[in-house]
Amino acid sequence: MPGSVKRMTVDLSDYPDLVVIYLGMRVNFLRGLKTLFGFGPRIQNAVNASPDGLLRHENFIISLFPLHVGMREYWRDYPSLEAWTRSEPHRLWWKKFLGDSGGTGFWHETYFVRGGMEAIYDDVPQPLGFLAFAPSREARGSMFSSRQRLGMAGAATTPPPVPESDLRDGR
């Protein structure tokens, strides 16, 4: 008889506002390899700095061809995640990416233990995740920021990395 399967679960009661975010970058063009490999060390340095609220960061490979890598992060709460995305170095990365994706596509999907999900897909050539089955909308107006996509009350405590009005072509 085979051995018993060791089954485990977790008690998340100490994390009532837990947020899980999946992020991915896909190489769309050859120059995207430089962009992708350039981000790796910078992301690792940011993780090593232990941003307030980041509980766990994990890397994974989605596909080798086309090269598509991902990360999964666990955050204590949305305010911690939002504060980090609006601070350095993330703010500068996002601003640069939205000006030129460097031959890559980027996406994230965010899930909240209290309910709610939101996502963004930039220069993603083929639908994936929610985009593969849910109606798409341009990321403008009420769909511009994650806070707005979630329908959260109140305003962010810091401005977005890139104001909607600064984006060309509504990207």
Q: What is the chain's pLDDT, residue by residue, as a tens digit (171 residues)?
A: 678 999 999 999 999 999 999 999 999 999 999 999 999 999 999 999 999 999 999 999 999 999 999 999 999 999 999 999 999 999 999 999 999 999 999 999 999 999 999 999 999 999 999 999 999 999 999 999 999 999 888 888 888 888 888 885 544
Q: Which residue type, as a one-letter code, is found at position 43?
A: I
Round the CA-based radius of gyration of the chain to a whole number and report it.
17
Residue whose C-alpha is closest to residue 40's, from 52, 51, 27, 28: 27
Q: Which residue type, as a one-letter code, is found at position 64?
A: L
| Domains within the chain, CATH numbers bracketed | 19-160 (3.30.70.100)
The pLDDT score that the predictor gives to residue 168 is 58
Q: How far apart are CA 31 and CA 33, in angstroms?
A: 5
The secondary structure element, H or E, covering residue 143 is none
Beta strands per DSSP E along the chain: 19-27, 54-64, 67-75, 104-112, 117-122
The pLDDT score that the predictor gives to residue 117 is 97
DSSP 3-state assignment of 160?
A: coil
